[in-house]
Structures are given as C-alpha cells and as structure tokens.
Structure 1
Amino acid sequence: MDLKELTAFQTILKEGSFAKAAAKLNYAQSTITNQIQRLEKELGFQLFNRGWEAELTPAGRIYAAEVDRLIQHWHYVADQAKAVLQEETGTIHVGMLETHARQIMPEALQLFRETKPGVTCSFVIGNTDQLSTELRHQQIDFAICGEPSDMSELRFEPLYEEKIVFVAAENHPIHDHNHPVKFEDLLQHLMFVGGPTCLYYISLTKQFARHEKVPQLYSVSQISAIPGFVAQVPSVGAVLATTPLPKGVIPVPVDWDPASIPVGLLQKRETIYPSIACEQLKKRIKEVIATHY
C-alpha cells in the first residue's frame, strides 16, 4: 500500500467516477484501475462492486470513512520523521495564567530547550476566559489555565487544583479577630479581588450570595498585583494560594470551605496530530507541575 493508491481511492470518492478521478490526477484511467486493484489485493477485500464504476461495497464504505484520516496520518508521520532528521524549528504559542509565568514555565522551558533548542516560544499571559478565546481563534497552540465554562471545541486535562486565600497587612484589624475568622467577618472590609472573568471571582461571588452583606469590591485584572494594594490600602485581598506575598502582608485564616479551581492543559479538541515539539513542551510542563504541586 502506498500514498498514490490511497489518493486514487480518495479522488474517486470525491469525483464520483474512475474517469473523472483519472482526469483530476492526470492519469490514464487504466492507471487508476490498477492502483485500486493493487489496494484491494493488499487489503484482502473489494472496495467497489464489479460492474458498477464507483459503487462501494459494505467493506469499501467502512474504509472510505477512514481514508481521509489515513492520508492525514501518512503525511503527519512523514513530516515528523523529516523534523527528527532535520533540526526542528518554528514557534510554539503558549497561553498561561500569570502565576505560571513565574513558577512553572521558566523551569519547563529550560528542560524543553535541552532537546528542542531550535524551537522558539511565544508566551501570552491572561485569564482563563481570554486564553480560551485565543485558543478558539487559533492564536495560541495550547494554554495552562482553568477550565472555562464554555468547553465547546476545547479539551481540558486537569493537572492540579488551586485554592483561594485571603490576605491582609500585618497591622490590619482583621488579625485582631479570633482565628480562624468567620467568612461573614470579612464582608465588612474593603476587598481587592481579580477581574470578573476570573474563575476564582465567580467562585467568590457564589459565596457572597449566601450572605446578606456584600463587601465593597475593587477589581484588579492581575491577581499578582493585589498584595501590593493590600500592603498600602487598609483592605483584605482574595488571591490564589500560589500568589507571592510581599513583606508585611500575611494570610488571614478563614473558616470557610473554598471550592477548588482545577488548573491544567487546555487545547483545541480537533487537534489530532500535534507537533512533536508541542507534545514535548507539554510533557516538560507536566513534569514541573508534578514536582511543585
């Protein structure tokens, strides 16, 4: 079996006859017929009913349903083999949450470069909502983020879970409460939170909805900036457990049951044959996450 035989079969299906397929491929019709006969011999069953130019047999219909994928796989394997023989080059576009830009990606990139030094990377930092949109528009190859509410066209592979924590300056009155602090005691204080499209913001609003009082909220698009505001403005900040805290800002023990936010690899569902380089980078990211989380 070779690619020419598969292509001949695929072209017959698309054109509707042996004659039209021969014209499309610039072959004699006898050449197309011989290619199909060789393919049938190698497969061990007939693809077309004899006496009917392009009427598929039951076995032929099953094979026809997979021929596009077979040809795609053939090209993919050939391309990947060439990439191994030659130095793989190109650019991988990766989206990530800001915490990953500091804590995961530098180490993963260093490991990746040991095997793929010719491949460059372009990193986009954003929240889950932004990254899932860019993924759908094919502006990035994959992302490390949360699981978006709209999973159409996408596939999510969870790798670890994030927790929401509250922080405040050491001299904030919230620390005068008995610990752990009741959740409702937080609600009387000014609070800095992430942007409305953040998954953890959605989780927080569900908690707020269970109480009569809602805190005065200031939203900050970058969660990593919240501790800086908390250090200067008398307030409480809602951040992720992995968010670095500056000197003078400490966690507030709170009596509540925060929902876990799964974080993992997000990619397009239709990506059947991703590049070797993409798969290698994902593998390194998983290794780093497994080590640190």
Structure 2
Amino acid sequence: MTHGVICFITRLKNNVCYTVREEENSMTILRLAKLLLFYIIFYACLAAFAALMFKIFLNTLDSNKPKWTLDESLIGTNPGITVRPVLNDNPIEYRAGDSDYMRMWNEKLTEFLEPYLSGTRSENVQNCFHQQYPDSGKVCNVKLTSEFTPCLPPYNFGFDFDNSDKGPCIFLKLNKIFDWVPKYYHKENIPADMPTELAQKIINAELVNQHDKIWVDCRPNNVSDVGNLGDVSYYPQQGFEGKYFPYTNVEGYLSPLVAVHFEKPKRGIPFDIVCKAWAANIQHDRKYNKGLVRFTLHVH
C-alpha cells in the first residue's frame, strides 16, 4: 500500500515537472522570437535612418567643387610643388654610364607626361596666347612644344646615358587648390629674401607687362654648392603663367609645367636642391614643404 502510494506520487511529480518544462521551453522560444523580431526592426530602422542622413548629406555637396575651399579647407591657401621624376624617397641620380638606370628615368618621365604628350584633348581645352585667359567654362591647353627643348622625349629629357658632360631635366608643377588665385609680384612688393637675380627678372618682366606668373627658382640649399651645380635653365619660362589659374575642376584641365635643366653639374657631389614657388600669396615653410620642394640630385 505504501509502495503504491509512493509510486503514484512519483509519477504525478514527473508529469507535473514535464509539463512545467514544456511551458518553460515554449516561453523561451517565444521570448527569443520576440527578441529577434525587435532587433530586425531596430536595425532596419537604423539602416533607413543612416541612408536618409547620407542622402541629405550628399544633397549638400556639389560634384564639381568641394564643399569647403581655400581657408575653410584642410588644404588651405598655400600650394606646394611636385617634382618629377621621383623614385620613392631616393635621390634623382644621373648615371651617364648606366643605360638601364637612365632608361628607367626616361620611362618614369614618359609615364608622368603621357597626358601632356597625348593628342587627345577635351572640348573644354582651348589654345591661349600669352596673357590670354580662357573663356568661361574653358581651360588653356598645356603643350610640350619645342620651347621645352632639351627637356623633351627626343632628347631623353636630358637623361642621356652616353653623355658624360651635361645634366638632367626635372619637371615642376604646382599642386592644385580649388579657386586659388595667385597674387603677382611687382617692383614695389618684392620681398627682401628673394634671390637677387629673380627679383631683377621680375622687374624687367614688369616693364613689358609679362610679370603675371608664379615664378620658380631652384638652387642648392648649401650656398657653397652654387658654383658646383652650375647653370640652371627653365623651360618654357621661369614660372607658371597666370592664365592657368584658378583651378575650378573643368574637365580637361592639366597643371602647367616648368622644366628645370641642370646644365653641367659637377660629378660626384650630392646636391640638396630647394625649388621655391614665388607669388605674393605663397609662403615658404620648409617643415611642411609649403611653397617649395626639396630633393637630392646626384650626378655620377
């Protein structure tokens, strides 16, 4: 009798526990389903909100110009200079007896100048004579004409492996800053730290109304190397003409170039060269390379 009661109570207890476990499992599945539905709705709403904010942000942008320009932009209003050819952080080396090395520099310059050498031009590009500015919505053509001689492909850009006497050419261009307009030097505002030869050249150019350009000047950082470096020539002229500015992202625009020819540098001396851009609204900062570029030229 007692054993039967105990068995009945045990079976009743097991059935109750099983029923409770079933109810708990059902509640757990329902809770998980509700939680999953909540997160699906939450992340869907979050994604929709992010997409809406991104669309609103895009509507505030102009595809043809940056939202912030000049002083409001991170770039600011002080352009730097780019030099070509370059090989990582290595110096520009002129090895007259190494045809493979000289060919490498030729290939790098040819690659860099390909847009300038190509005959394809946008319909927005027009030919501009000296002091002729482009029409509205147009840009002036940049041509590598015979005025760049000897810094042209037929002359190997000066990197001639069978020439143990002359030196190479390098190319300079001003970094683009949207809507930036240069302010030109004239006789009354030439700064005291400008090289004397350049100052005199600007004064002479003003006499014939040809001073409206961003002038460039390349010289050794070490004054004692000036004689060893020898003559430096600029093609087609010693600066970037004002007709190429401002840059406004017009299709077909190419930055103007200045070729710098180191005519007969002394062999075996690594020259620390500094090239500066000179305009009344360009400041020179060697720490941040503003308004200038530095590189090593080593001629063997």
TM-score by length of 2: 0.19
TM-score by length of 1: 0.20
More helix by proportion, 1 or 2?
A: 1
